[in-house]
Amino acid sequence: MKAKTLLLLPILGFLSYISFLLAGNTIAIVKENSLLPLWDQAAHSVEGWEIYFYLRNMNLPMFIWKLWTRGLWPFVNNLYLTVFYFICGPYYYSALISNIIAFIGIGCFASYILIKLSKNIPIFSVSLIILFLISSPIYLAFASLSMLETFGSLVQLLVFMSYISLNERRDSKSAKIFSCCLTILFLQNLIIFSWFLLLY
Domain ranges of the chain: 2-147
* Helices of type H across the chain: 2-33, 38-56, 60-68, 76-88, 92-118, 122-134, 137-143, 148-169, 172-188, 190-199
Q: Which parts of the chain sit beneath pLDDT 70?
A: 1-40, 71-72, 119-123, 125-127, 130, 134-135, 189-200
pLDDT at 33: 58
- Return the closest-CA partner of residue 112 out of 29, 34, 8, 33: 8
> What is the sign of the dihedral through the CA atoms of 60, 65, 66 and 68?
positive
Cα 199 to chain centroid, rounded: 27
pLDDT at 78: 86
Q: How far is CA 58 from CA 51, 55, 63, 77, in A?
A: 10, 5, 8, 20
Q: How far is CA 179 from CA 1, 135, 182, 184, in A?
A: 28, 33, 5, 9
CA angle, 106 then 112 then 117, to 5°? 120
pLDDT at 145: 75
Q: How far is CA 150 from CA 54, 97, 138, 156, 163, in A?
A: 25, 12, 11, 10, 20
> What distance in Å separates the CA atoms of residue 100 and residue 30, rounded to the nearest whole number?
14
pLDDT at 83: 92
pLDDT at 27: 58
For residue 121, give the DSSP letter. -
pLDDT at 198: 46
